[in-house]
Structure 1
């Protein structure tokens, strides 16, 4: 396929959204939001430039390399390669996102060469990427790809064919779920009471970022376990090293972005350590959809309904923190049946499925 004329330009990361050199970044954010709106037909994942900028600025925990795609002088897409800073990491995370009106011209396949070249130059041999695969219209005949885990499947749509052309294989399917808060609170209260009765020896603690000093060390350890205790199927996941300094950098990015983040933790009474946690996050718009980010119960503390305890406690508190946000979205691996069961009991319903793709370079 002939590639239409386009320009791939390194993205300038400004110091602030109103800096003189911020125009490309602002255009990238606008196009990002439009692309996600085209995929999901809603603004659940929309973000402002102020919200995103701290996550693009230089930090010692990862090396994010970004480009914008221009056609006729207009920004129409973006390319990102994210290189974790863990020692001896072989992984490069990547994405190519284009507006619908410029898809099918060969641009996506052409810019993919930058992905592999960047990964190789950084000494990385494993490429991994995620894409949402919306359900086709009811009645449409379409081939489906099952996850090798045996849990979940995606339609063989345009994004799936793109990954296959680039030599990637489907490794895992995640479910994006949505909760209507207005219709679920009575159920959440009942589930919270039930979980409390099974969680002897644990207490719920909640805080807004930054993390309180007494929980920084154990919470940093719990955050590190996201890389080892969450289902990863055939993906390669570096074991992350978190300390109080890395946690402080993490907290600062969200605070600097003007985001509100509520952490709900289960603390082990005997040790005083955080052993389970969940995070709810919103931006500056009080009516915007809330995102549930990391949620984890450490393996050695499972079996006490701590996942149910913290998720319910978090939602009940969040209703006080952000009463005008009426939707929560979250993502879980399809094989993570314990967490999905909790979500389903609370009233979360499937909204879309995400394919996790991987390629090992020669």
Structure 2
């Protein structure tokens, strides 16, 4: 589909087989604009990715359909519109984004782009639309989700969601950790967790996941969709198996990203019961991303979250990315157990995202 409005074109993204191919120009420029939009919002380049890092996530995927349109104004790409459609059995969900460079806001482009979102959702039989956006702090009226945890300003972005029939369901905290100053605290908390977590051992690897752990890791990954705090949001229960883990790993490898997976294994049963992931791009002097972290419900209360986080950070700082200055992570504002661990380690809040939801009739 190729659509125009008020002199603006919405053009489907061409995904090249490899960066450097003759048809990679739109993809490379999309990534540049993506990075520019996030830099405008955050005031830094912490969310930057290279085209090589991002390309594997746009390859054909048996678990998801990813649609994307480029926003083209005056011959230049100035934004993007994306819709992700999970392929779990019976899924009603669609996840979306509309991102524009600030200089092109206020022209009705976002509204026209959002129309593509609803059209795509209806074409694929999806009725639950969900989206996340950063809301930098600002004076004025505040919005609070039904959870009662956290708040955001009623800014232009929030009003866009409200005009289009969305409700604010959850606040997500973005936190960062200074990897240099936190090192002594990480060592102390790791020792505390090791003393408390009797009956468990720490195992670490970088992709590809060792075959002896792949099924256990797949099971814990599947529990992210059911055990993490979701407020009023709706998530499909994901099915993870060894093949899905291999695909997950290969995307990191193809993108040139370095990942450290730290798990806690229950010694008696051999089951993997907690995990943490750290990742960084080819330039290891940039920010680190702390990705999924989970402790299975039936094994909580043994400091396993603290154990896998601190064990990962300790090795990361000394062996893997000693020049990375900080770690960035995201948590639901009501997820007090994880926030308690993060705060004790030294993570501090830097911004808040709103999680928005609409149910189509």
Q: TM-score range by the shorter chain?
A: over 0.9
For residues 203-222 of structure 1, give each alpha carbon's deviation from its aligned partner in whole angstroms, at most 9, with x where no partner exists. 00000011111100010000
- Which residue of structure 2 lines up, in the alignment, with residue 73 of structure 1? 75
SS in 1 for 2:225: helix
- Which residue of structure 2 lines up, in the alignment, with residue 356 of structure 1? 355
CA distance in 2, matches of 1:293, 1:330: 7
Q: Which residue of 131, 134, 139 corresponds with 1:132? A: 134
Q: Does 1:60 align with 2:59?
A: no
Q: CA deviation at 1:70?
A: 0.5
SS in 1 for 2:37: helix
SS in 1 for 2:180: helix
For residues 217-239 of structure 1, give each alpha carbon's deviation from its aligned partner in whole angstroms, at most 9, with x where no partner exists. 01000000000000000001000
**What pairs with 1:1-362 in structure 2 (closer than 5 Å)?**
4-136=6-138, 141-319=139-317, 320-362=319-361
CA distance in 2, matches of 1:151, 1:269: 37
Q: CA deviation at 1:287?
A: 0.6
For residues 78-134 of structure 1, give each alpha carbon's deviation from its aligned partner in whole angstroms, at most 9, with x where no partner exists. 010000010000000000000000011110011111100100110100000000111
- Over aligned residue pairs, what C-alpha RMSD do you find? 0.7
CA distance in 2, matches of 1:44, 1:342: 23
For residues 318-342 of structure 1, give each alpha carbon's deviation from its aligned partner in whole angstroms, at most 9, with x where no partner exists. 0120011011000000000000000
CA distance in 2, matches of 1:85, 1:261: 26
Q: CA deviation at 1:4?
A: 3.9
CA distance in 2, matches of 1:349, 1:110: 37
Q: TM-score, normalised by structure 1?
A: 0.97
SS in 1 for 2:147: coil
CA distance in 2, matches of 1:111, 1:230: 31
For residues 115-159 of structure 1, give each alpha carbon's deviation from its aligned partner in whole angstroms, at most 9, with x where no partner exists. 0010011010000000011112xxxx3111011101111111111
For residues 179-200 of structure 1, give each alpha carbon's deviation from its aligned partner in whole angstroms, at most 9, with x where no partner exists. 0111101011111111111101
CA distance in 1, matches of 2:40, 2:73: 18
Instruction: Count matched residues.
Output: 356
CA distance in 2, matches of 1:53, 1:325: 23
CA distance in 1, matches of 2:14, 2:104: 23
CA distance in 2, matches of 1:292, 1:147: 25
CA distance in 1, matches of 2:150, 2:7: 38
